[in-house]
């Protein structure tokens, strides 16, 4: 069965309680359950991870390629706007990466308008809350 890595960056472990007016009330576990259900329907397996540490995301991107993952869904959190290391890791692998955001960064603070992840990713899905993850999974299923 093809596997899709779902990688989540800093502070996403606080979903559901962290600024719910921006990020919604779904927890990361809620989103994981939705993804697992939909992945089964699509004949996929998901490997869902979260870390507050940049190096873990880089290592997991490398691992996704080493394990011949179908795709990576990446919500890099704040690293989206700061991490050249994550950008370079995406560029270094063949595995397609889809950038995900719960909110729309372009209508938020100006520092969120720059995405190093987006400059390297296959595409971006943003602004649809937890649905952003499911939309990205649908796209990944078509690779």
CATH at residue 47: 3.40.50.9100
Domain count, the chain: 1
Q: What is the pLDDT along the chain (143 residues), one digit of tens a residue?
A: 999 999 999 999 999 988 777 777 899 999 999 999 999 999 999 999 999 999 999 999 999 999 999 999 999 999 999 999 999 999 999 999 999 999 888 777 776 778 999 999 999 999 999 999 999 999 999 99
Residues with Cβ within 8 Å of residue 114, at least 6 apart in sequence: 81
The residues assigned a catalytic role are: 23, 101
pTM of the complete model beyond 0.85: yes
How far is it, in rounded angstroms, from Cα 112 to Cα 45? 31
Tell how far CA 34 is from the center of its chain: 14
As a three-state string, the secondary structure of 99-123 is EEECCCHHHCCHHHHCCCCCCCCCE
Torsion, Cα 105 55 68 117, to 10 degrees, reads: 20
Nearest to 35 by CA among 110, 139, 107, 109: 139
State which residues form the domain around 130: 2-141
């Amino acid at each position: 069965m093809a596997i899709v890595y779902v990688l989540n960056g800093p502070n996403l472990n606080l979903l559901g309680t962290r600024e719910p007016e921006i990020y919604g009330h779904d927890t990361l576990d809620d989103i994981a359950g939705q993804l697992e259900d939909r992945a089964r329907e699509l004949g996929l397996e998901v490997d869902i991870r979260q870390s507050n540490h940049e190096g873990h995301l880089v290592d997991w991107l490398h691992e996704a390629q080493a394990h011949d993952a179908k795709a990576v869904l990446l919500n890099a959190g704040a690293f989206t706007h700061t991490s050249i290391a994550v950008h370079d890791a995406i560029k270094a692998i063949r595995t397609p990466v889809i950038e995900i955001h719960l909110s729309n960064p372009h209508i938020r603070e100006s520092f969120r308008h720059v995405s190093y992840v987006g400059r390297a990713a296959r595409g971006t899905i943003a602004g649809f809350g937890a649905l952003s993850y499911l939309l990205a999974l649908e796209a990944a299923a078509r690779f």
